[in-house]
Structure 1
Amino acid sequence: MIKSQRWFVVGLLFLAGVVNYLDRAALSIAAPLIQKDLHFTHAQMGVVFSSFFIGYALFNFVGGVLSDKIGAKKVFGGAMGIWSLFCGATALASSLVSLIVLRVLFGMGEGPFSSSNSKMVNNWFPRREVASAIGVISSGTPLGGALAGPIVGFMAIQFGWRWAFVIIMVIGLAWLVLWTFATTEHPQENKRVSRNELALIVAGQQTDVSMEQGAHGEKAGLGFYLRQPLILATAFAFFSYNYVLFFFLSWFPTYLTEAHHMSLRDMSFATVIPWLLGSIGLAAGGFITDAILRFTGKPLLSRRLVLSVCLGIAALCVAFAGRVQTTQGAVALMSVTIFFLYVTGSVYWAVIQDTVRRENVGGVGGFVHLLANLAGVIGPAVTGFIVEATHGAYGAAFVLAGVVAVLGALCAFIWIREPRHAGRGVMQARPAEARASTR
């Protein structure tokens, strides 16, 4: 795996994921200091958290479409440069309006992250490995969240919260230099790819997806996919995943400092535990669903099982996390929530890879990600208003997150199935090859 160029690309994207969530989690870690410095209420802080997702959700789709048209390498590199610069510019915020504007622009920069790295995986990997590759890449994001606690917490205490954003910007720009000179859009363009590896990639991509044509035989295009119940169900399940994730990302650090009276230093280290378990869950989830796929030969069955079971467990845990009286209990339940939530993290993208033509993977992925990230626009703001209305109580917000996750699990279980009119799926077409395949 280490000598493989396709896994080297995954390694770079993994590091980008670390930087991505280091950038994104910095605001929630520094939130108590920012809230005090700029005199924000809980409702105002909730609006600040949500403002990021206005730009982010829109550019999920824009970034996906651009990845199909001009290439994922260019889009991903441009996104890293833009979001790094606006992360650093957060240090210039002096009012509610200026911070909201900077967070919207920061979100626009981060928007293409997932759809463009999914497109890179589609370019570089045989289909039987896509969930595993996306899982490894995605596991970098909670690792970045874990590092954000001690790193941002230390810098905020020692130098002030503004300097934390400037230093993180420098890290992102350094990664961009490496990405620019070490990668190519396709393996065929990369001189370091061996003949054997190129043959493996090309052979593994020469299989039909499960929705290559519409019900009447027409060639499937972007508009066709965006109307499919399976795609919309995947988007809603992804929405529920994001609702819980962004509730945790935005408000859990503040919850620990207010409801459990933790210091900024102790909170910074306590939040590491859920993120580390989440990183393990994300990496494992892709391998688990690909293993079920190889055993059954049915890609959407493997995806449906992982989504419905793990989202259901996460829903129960998050609903109870706000009801426990001890700090240890709250952190433990939230850690279990994040682990099972993140097991599903690569599966939404795998469903798209299983069902969508290569020419439309970026656009469809961006559309699904756009709908999913509306949870980021809604969730943090709703939580802020709930806490404000209940005079600092968080219990109802935790329960609401659990209810949303239950609905997502049910949606995945009911609608993520092989389309009735579709031909044979990706791995169904060659079940013997799928079961015998090895990395």
Structure 2
Amino acid sequence: MTTTQQMKTPVAKRKGKSKFAVLALIFLSVVINYMDRTNISVAAQAISDDLELTKVQMGIIFSAFAWTYSIMQIPGGMLVDSVRIRILYPVILVAWSLATIVQGMVSSLAAVVGCRMAIGFFEAPSYPANNKIVTQWFGEHERAGAIAVYTSGQFIGLAFLMPVLAIIQQWFGWRGLFFISGGIGILWAGVWYLLYRDPVVDDEMHDTPDDALPTSSANAAEQAQQVPVTAHTQATASWSNIKIAFSSRKLWGIYIGQFCLGGTLIFFLTWFPTYLAEYRGLSELTTGFVASIPFLAAFFGVLLSGFVSDWLVRKGVSNEVARKAPIILGLLLSSSVIFANYVESTQWVTFFLSVTFFGNGLASINWVFVSLIAPKHMVGLVGGCFNFIGGLSAVTVPIAIGYLAKDGDFRPALVLVAALALIGLCSYIFLVGKVEQIQLPNLAVDSDSPSSDPSVKNQSEAAGGAQ
């Protein structure tokens, strides 16, 4: 064994440990992110009683987060492509955590709406940042698994947090719930800054840390696609590229799919506890524990989907099967929410809602399509557009459910959620088509690169023409 080979082995081991440590940081950040999004759903009934709010007004409060969250997705994606993640992440964490704390001090509808808008504004870059981190640290053949792990944070975290948040509210009231949630986020921002390193030269250390080395499990072609801060990523911050991001049929397929997937998710993140408490007549603490069961189902769904999908890719199965099949199956299962309208017992309601959210979990690896389909210099921007369209479901669906359930009947709302799941299924089948990266014919091509092959050039031209 040569000296070079002897040096590579421990470096590769350190790198392997580093990327999984990074994944753990993202996972915990997602848990905190969703805690601050959804604590409002736990507190909803108490806030409604205290501030004398109607269901339509509560729908507006549930929706307010997404007004700014959606609008800021594209600027947030640009920001992710321009600012070091080590700096950006703790800044936005502190900002949305402070807004969460202030939320516990207000006493009017307008003030609550304003706080929810502030939380959405500062959380907007978080998921484009998560996707960029995974794209930089993990090879394509293991990326869906990585995405599944951090996405599972929104499910497993809430599965355990729902009853905990309910207990905190019982002890400290709904205002205390927001104070404690916000304080946790501020503490975590400091931990993130101390532990995370960008996979580039660290300015403070004036050296390339072990964390910056290419993933040991990625092949050379994948490593070449993972170079983080380059002229390609800087090119994303232009309005001409925004036009590209909104002119591709494939990208619109995943955008619409994300909107429909978000329709199911936002029901569980906002109205679900109210549905259990008011329509199904469960107590506050019982609601907290019953609500955790579908979140556990979603957790297992997303992990199963991610790791099976990556395993199929490693076995040479096409992306159409390995990546699309879990999403299509998941969206089909999500439509089973409609069956909850035809059962009475809490056990059967919990079963169908768990199947629904398990399906939502299966489909939640859809972020992998951003890196698979987007032009490689536009991953951050396309991620922002993807989450912008998805965020619109969080703008519209809570208000729509508020109107549909204003008389206390949630059955029309469940019909809406089921219909969205079926529309998303059709979007992935008929709009996304073959899973392949969009090639822009006007980009320069190196003579040594694989895309200089005439057959690949023809595919690029065809993809460009299709836009």
Deviation of the 1:72 alpha carbon: 3.1
Structure 1 residue ranges without an equivalent (≥5): 213-219, 430-439
Inter-CA distance 176–202: structure 2 relative to 1 (3 Å threshold):
farther
Decide which of 359, 378, 386 is 2:404's aligned counterpart: 386
Deviation of the 1:78 alpha carbon: 2.1
Structure 2: distance between partners of 1:37 and 1:136 = 38
Partner of 1:62: 75
| Deviations 1:284-333, CA, capped at 9 Å, x for gaps | 22212222323345324432222212101111x21112332112211111
Partner of 1:344: 363
List aligned pairs for 1:18-417, cutoff 5 A: 18-186=31-199, 189=202, 191-193=209-211, 197=215, 200=218, 204-206=222-224, 221-315=241-335, 317-347=336-366, 349-388=367-406, 391-417=407-433
Task: Return the letter of the residue paired with 1:93.
Answer: V
Normalising by the residue count of structure 2, what TM-score does the alignment of the two structures yield?
0.83
Inter-CA distance 387–206: structure 2 relative to 1 (3 Å threshold):
same
Residues 139, 217 of structure 2: 8 Å contact kept: no
Task: Return the letter of the residue paired with 1:369.
Answer: N
Structure 2: distance between partners of 1:184 and 1:60 = 24
Inter-CA distance 297–205: structure 2 relative to 1 (3 Å threshold):
farther
Task: Return the letter of the residue paired with 1:412.
Answer: Y
Structure 1: distance between partners of 2:195 and 2:95 = 20
Structure 2: distance between partners of 1:195 and 1:314 = 40
| Deviations 1:233-278, CA, capped at 9 Å, x for gaps | 1010111110011012111100111112111011111111111121
Normalising by the residue count of structure 1, what TM-score does the alignment of the two structures yield?
0.88
Structure 2: distance between partners of 1:167 and 1:14 = 20
2:129 partner SS:
helix
Number of aligned residue pairs: give it.
Answer: 413
Structure 2: distance between partners of 1:264 and 1:421 = 48
> What root-mean-square deviation, in Å, do the aligned CA atoms of Structure 1 and Structure 2 show?
2.5
Deviation of the 1:164 alpha carbon: 0.8
| Deviations 1:37-59, CA, capped at 9 Å, x for gaps | 11001111111101111011112
Deviation of the 1:13 alpha carbon: 0.4
Structure 2: distance between partners of 1:327 and 1:274 = 13
Task: Return the letter of the residue paired with 2:55.
Answer: H
Residues 106, 112 of structure 2: 8 Å contact kept: yes
Task: Return the letter of the residue paired with 2:106.
Answer: A
Partner of 2:30: 17
Inter-CA distance 203–7: structure 2 relative to 1 (3 Å threshold):
farther
Deviation of the 1:21 alpha carbon: 1.4
Structure 1: distance between partners of 2:314 and 2:39 = 39
1:206 partner SS:
helix
Give percent identity, aligned residues only. 28
Deviation of the 1:131 alpha carbon: 1.1
Deviation of the 1:421 alpha carbon: 10
Structure 2: distance between partners of 1:422 and 1:156 = 48
Partner of 2:7: none
Structure 2: distance between partners of 1:331 and 1:199 = 41
Task: Return the letter of the residue paired with 1:83.
Answer: W
1:344 partner SS:
helix
Task: Return the letter of the residue paired with 1:67.
Answer: V
Task: Return the letter of the residue paired with 1:380.
Answer: P
Mean Cα displacement is larger for which, 278-287 or 229-238? Answer: 278-287
Structure 1: distance between partners of 2:296 and 2:89 = 25
Partner of 1:436: none
Task: Return the letter of the residue paired with 1:79.
Answer: I
Inter-CA distance 401–394: structure 2 relative to 1 (3 Å threshold):
same
Deviation of the 1:354 alpha carbon: 0.9
1:368 partner SS:
helix
User: Over alpha carbons, which structure has the higher Rg?
Assistant: 2
Structure 1: distance between partners of 2:386 and 2:311 = 25
Structure 1: distance between partners of 2:321 and 2:279 = 41
| Deviations 1:46-87, CA, capped at 9 Å, x for gaps | 111011110111122221111112233333222211111111
Structure 2 residue ranges without an equivalent (≥5): 1-12, 203-207, 227-231, 233-239, 440-449, 457-467
Partner of 1:4: 17
Residues 72, 185 of structure 1: 8 Å contact kept: yes
Structure with larger RCO (C-alpha < 8 A, sep 6+): 1
